[in-house]
Structure 1
Amino acid sequence: MESVAQSIDTVWVLICTVLVLLMQAGFACLESGLVRAKNSINVAVKNVMDFCVAGVGFWLVGFGLMFGVSAGGFLGSSDFAFDGVAGGNQATAWVMAFFFFQLAFCSTSTTIVSGAVAERMSFRGYAITAAILSMLIYPVFGHWAWGGVLSGEAAGWLESRGFVDFAGSTVVHSVGGWIALAAILVLGPRIGRFGPDGKRIEPHDMPMATLGMFLLWIGWFGFNGGSTLALNATVPFVLVHTMLAAAAGGLAVVGISWIRNGLPDVQLTLNGILAGLVAITANCHIVSTSNAVLIGAGGGIVCLVASDLLARLRIDDAVDAVPVHLAAGIWGTLAVALFGDVSLFPNGHTRLEQLGVQALGIGAAGVFAFGVSYIVLHLIDRVLPLRVSADAERIGLNIAEHGASSALLDVLGAMEAQASRGDFSRPVHVEPFTEAGEMASRYNLVLDKFNSEVRKREQTANELRDARD
């Protein structure tokens, strides 16, 4: 009977792992939709690359640092290049499922950075950043908070003190957010984002970004639901709390933006939903349903405030990854102590004692993740510049980094070339059955009218000249 239950738990974790992996598709759609068309391919490919880097890096080094035999509660010291033999026993199968689940978490933390640094970080620089995150920063901090999860005994120094982060508001999201903040500070803002003529850079495909948000929302049920590591009575509560927190985060932000701007802001609404998900991730197993709604709404509000703060400080986060993952992650981690069931706190802590432990974990994540990433990226930037050239940024990273274009960019390029030459005698190429083709067709109608008027004026001028002669 026990073996049947363990088999069911293994299947549950594997199903949830696939849902978490679906979040990679969500991030790719969200981020590529929120940037300009000239950079969308680059952002999508970076999401693919960080998944590959995180996958191999976590297998090679990360899993051992995170879940290996603890060295003083600070890092794991075994199980590097994690190995498992196919056809092993049930216990081995469970360890393999656990490894797969944690690898998916690592890839999620890694891909948070790609959106924040979009439109100006080189592909090479991003690959280096993804390797640092997945092979060093994420697993080391993960050991502090979760090092004993596999063995069932507290191993990390934060874990031993009773730090609670059920599915990673800090371990996954805040760590990724701290590294994203360090990276955008090293890189600086995009050209034209701030300054006398600076303004918000509009997304090019909001429906694509909305699809990405929904994929993330669905994947989050695996993220939180799988963190029970068993198909038990806690799972339904975790899933319902996850659902309600996301909805509350979206409602809170859409209401505030509607009151403030007179219209509901679409991008802020998407981010509010994601912030609600991040906020509930640390505490969904120990809070009531009504408190889950409050936590989700609070996550959305915190995200909105953080986004405004970054803009005032002229810190350029292309997709608001820092407000969503770092700010809401901090709020969700504190919410463990503020709203959680005191009887379920580890080590018999009071609410105030638990708040102190939660704050300690947040501070440790900030000092370690931000401090190490900022120093390392700053040093790398001095040797191998992480930012693309100004010309590459203006052209767009699709072409500059990958030699990839699109029908829309081709049309815009042809129009710019005509403007620079002052030669409007030839129509631009029309790609049939595309939106870019429709744009080219309309532009060619303007060219025809323009050239027709030029010919008429030339004819009139010639006739007047002949009359005078």
Structure 2
Amino acid sequence: MTKAATKAAALADGRIDTGDTAWLLAATALVLLMTPGLALFYGGMVRTKSVLNMLMMSFVSIALVTVVWLTAGYSLAFGDDIGGGLIGGLKHAGMAGLGPNSVHGTVPTLLFATFQLTFAIITAALISGAVADRVRFGAWLVFVPVWALLVYVPVAHWVWGPGGWIATRLGALDFAGGLPVEITSGASGLALCLVVGPRLGFKKDAMRPHNLPMVMLGAGLLWFGWFGFNAGSALGANGLAAAAFLNTLTAGCTGLLGWLFVEQKRDGHPTTLGAASGAVAGLVAITPSCGSVSLLGALVIGLAAGAVCSYAVGWKFKLNYDDSLDVVGVHLVGGIIGTLLIGVFATTELTGKTDGLLYGGGLAQLGKQLVAVVAVGAYAFLVTYGIGKLLDRLMGLRASEEQEQTGLDLTVHAETAYDHGVLGHGAPVGASLPSLQKVKSQA
């Protein structure tokens, strides 16, 4: 019996395929690694006084989202639909009924659930970049689980869950998370930074990244993990995974080049921060489309994202919203580009049924992609804005002015990333820990 026949038999009989399972185990570990990579990426982009706080916001998201996902999130996102395509049921709350022999396709259901968990984790962590340097850590601990349940879980069901309305009724395509991950995090980041308000000194003080080698290391880990993110979404060791893998590499490269081209032409200097940001922008854009477009599509999508996002990150200064680490400019804008261009570059060679405009499919698929983008973006923005306002009223989201000036590392965590981390950032030279107790008590 050939490999293809063996796999078909396994799928028909509901048996676990060891090759698919081995690949998805590796892919799950790769995606989980992306959150520590994001922590380094974000950590290098902030000033020295809030490095540890930035790292902590990502790392604590791993713990918080895991608890929420295992308790109810997975069941609501991937359980049988009970709400007209809007939400799943609680049949598998607490992972009930999902033993080691339960199968999803050709992989263990527990592995599939864990793979999807890693997506939920990094999506919540991404939002922290929009409000870096100024959010109370205690408020973040409440925000993350509430947001995961009210925003991420429903959108994941719409796009990937059984009977989800975007996939089954609208017919929009999203292979690896342009809608639930990129657009949701970007729109939510915009909402939250509007609720919290700008950093002290926004548009006046220089707020340059304090450690560009750390940024590059974080970007490299993100890129490495992204192969699991996108190719793993094929849920098997197969040709579709290989195509998604190559498209991911390609778009990351052209995104990097597109951003550097704009920087060189506009500013006269290609920068390391631009290279890291451009690669991430290309990877963001190819996420929804990596399993739907040809290699040509991946080249164009990455290039477009790198170039457009390099301009989009500057919109915050014109529109007066302080998106600290450019979650809106990269993830929202890049996610929109990648999701919409499926309607242009999709090919039946990968989708099996849908051609985009470039391949003779007309405007129909582009229209479906647009509806999905608007619906998900609006939902994520409005619900996150409501959550933010409620938490701000109940417990306060914004750190005090004194905390922000001194730095959240010392005032919240009683630590500094560097021996000199306190100096020159709001705390007087030689300030002792007791002298800062008043500031810490407000955390």
Give secondary structure in 2 for the equivalent of 1:351: coil
Aligned with 1:235 (options 223, 230, 241): 241
Q: Is the 8 A contact 2:347 2:354 kept in 1?
A: no
Q: Against the structure 1 CA distance between its residues 255 and 375, is the aligned structure 2 distance closer, same or farther, given a 3 Å change threshold? A: same
Aligned partners of 2:147 and 2:110: how far apart in 1? Answer: 22
> Which amino acid is 1:103 matched to?
L
| Total equivalences in the alignment | 410
> Which amino acid is 1:213 matched to?
A
Q: In structure 2, what is the equivalent of residue 203 of structure 1?
A: 209
Aligned with 1:271 (options 277, 284, 299): 277
Aligned partners of 1:87 and 1:285: how far apart in 2? Answer: 29
Give secondary structure in 2 for the equivalent of 1:57: helix
Q: Is the 8 A contact 1:345 1:354 kept in 2?
A: no
Is 1:74 paired with 2:86?
Answer: yes
Aligned with 1:392 (options 388, 403, 406): 403
Is 1:174 paired with 2:183?
Answer: yes
> Equivalences for 1:444-463 in 2 at 5 Å?
none
Is 1:218 paired with 2:224?
Answer: yes
Identify the range of structure 1 (376-385 vs 392-401) with the bigger mean alpha-carbon deviation.
Answer: 376-385
Aligned partners of 1:241 and 1:101: how far apart in 2? Answer: 20
Aligned partners of 2:74 and 2:206: how far apart in 1? Answer: 40
Aligned partners of 2:319 and 2:426: how far apart in 1? Answer: 37
Q: In structure 2, what is the equivalent of residue 184 of structure 1?
A: 193
Aligned with 2:389 (options 361, 367, 378): 378
Aligned partners of 2:394 and 2:299: how far apart in 1? Answer: 48
Q: Against the structure 1 CA distance between its residues 133 and 256, is the aligned structure 2 distance closer, same or farther, given a 3 Å change threshold? A: same
| Greater gyration radius | 1
Q: In structure 1, what is the equivalent of residue 173 of structure 2?
A: 164
Q: Give how far 1:42 is off.
A: 0.6
Q: In structure 1, what is the equivalent of residue 19 of structure 2?
A: 8
Q: Against the structure 1 CA distance between its residues 407 and 147, is the aligned structure 2 distance closer, same or farther, given a 3 Å change threshold? A: same
Q: Is the 8 A contact 1:146 1:159 kept in 2?
A: yes
Q: Give how far 1:331 is off.
A: 0.5
> Which amino acid is 1:41 matched to?
L
> Which amino acid is 2:302 matched to?
G
- Runs of 4+ displaced beyond 3 Å: 1-5, 83-93, 342-351, 410-419
Aligned with 2:101 (options 88, 99, 104): 88
Alignment deviations for residues 284-308 of structure 1 (CA, whole Å, 9 cap, x no partner): 1222212211100111122122212
Give secondary structure in 1 for the equivalent of 2:289: coil
Identify the range of structure 1 (242-251 vs 6-15) with the bigger mean alpha-carbon deviation.
Answer: 6-15
> Which amino acid is 1:132 matched to?
V
Give secondary structure in 2 for the equivalent of 1:134: helix
Alignment deviations for residues 262-293 of structure 1 (CA, whole Å, 9 cap, x no partner): 11132232111101001011111222212211
Q: Give how far 1:410 is off.
A: 4.8
Q: Against the structure 1 CA distance between its residues 97 and 414, is the aligned structure 2 distance closer, same or farther, given a 3 Å change threshold? A: closer
Q: Among the aligned pairs, what percent are the same residue?
A: 35
Q: Is the 8 A contact 1:54 1:135 kept in 2?
A: no
Q: In structure 1, what is the equivalent of residue 40 of structure 2?
A: 29
Q: In structure 1, what is the equivalent of residue 264 of structure 2?
A: 258
* TM score, norm. by length of structure 2: 0.88
Aligned partners of 1:257 and 1:356: how far apart in 2? Answer: 32
Q: In structure 2, what is the equivalent of residue 62 of structure 1?
A: 73
Aligned residues: CA RMSD: 2.2
Q: Give how far 1:170 is off.
A: 1.5
Gaps of 5+ in 2: 1-5, 432-443
Q: In structure 1, what is the equivalent of residue 255 of structure 2?
A: 249
Q: Give how far 1:342 is off.
A: 5.2
Aligned partners of 2:355 and 2:424: how far apart in 1? Answer: 64
Q: Is the 8 A contact 1:84 1:96 kept in 2?
A: no
Q: Is the 8 A contact 2:226 2:283 kept in 1?
A: yes
Identify the range of structure 1 (166-175 vs 283-292) with the bigger mean alpha-carbon deviation.
Answer: 283-292
> Which amino acid is 1:163 matched to?
A
Q: Give how far 1:379 is off.
A: 2.1
Q: Is the 8 A contact 2:98 2:109 kept in 1?
A: no
> Which amino acid is 2:421 matched to?
L
Q: Is the 8 A contact 2:49 2:425 kept in 1?
A: no
Q: Is the 8 A contact 1:13 1:226 kept in 2?
A: yes
> Which amino acid is 1:322 matched to?
V
Aligned partners of 1:23 and 1:372: how far apart in 2? Answer: 26
Q: Is the 8 A contact 1:34 1:205 kept in 2?
A: yes
Give secondary structure in 2 for the equivalent of 1:417: coil
Q: Give how far 1:411 is off.
A: 5.0
> Which amino acid is 1:249 matched to?
G
Aligned partners of 1:395 and 1:101: how far apart in 2? Answer: 39
Alignment deviations for residues 186-215 of structure 1 (CA, whole Å, 9 cap, x no partner): 011110112xxx144101111001000000
Q: Against the structure 1 CA distance between its residues 188 and 93, is the aligned structure 2 distance closer, same or farther, given a 3 Å change threshold? A: same
Q: Against the structure 1 CA distance between its residues 345 and 162, is the aligned structure 2 distance closer, same or farther, given a 3 Å change threshold? A: farther
* TM score, norm. by length of structure 1: 0.83
> Which amino acid is 2:51 matched to?
S
Aligned partners of 1:359 and 1:391: how far apart in 2? Answer: 44
Q: Give how far 1:128 is off.
A: 2.0
Q: Against the structure 1 CA distance between its residues 394 and 95, is the aligned structure 2 distance closer, same or farther, given a 3 Å change threshold? A: same
Aligned partners of 1:20 and 1:139: how far apart in 2? Answer: 18
Q: In structure 2, what is the equivalent of residue 125 of structure 1?
A: 139
Q: Against the structure 1 CA distance between its residues 336 and 87, is the aligned structure 2 distance closer, same or farther, given a 3 Å change threshold? A: closer
> Which amino acid is 1:98 matched to?
F
Alignment deviations for residues 323-355 of structure 1 (CA, whole Å, 9 cap, x no partner): 111110011000111111157375788431111
Q: Against the structure 1 CA distance between its residues 38 and 233, is the aligned structure 2 distance closer, same or farther, given a 3 Å change threshold? A: same
Q: Is the 8 A contact 1:144 1:159 kept in 2?
A: yes
Q: Is the 8 A contact 2:86 2:158 kept in 1?
A: yes
Alignment deviations for residues 224-254 of structure 1 (CA, whole Å, 9 cap, x no partner): 0100011111222211110010010011111
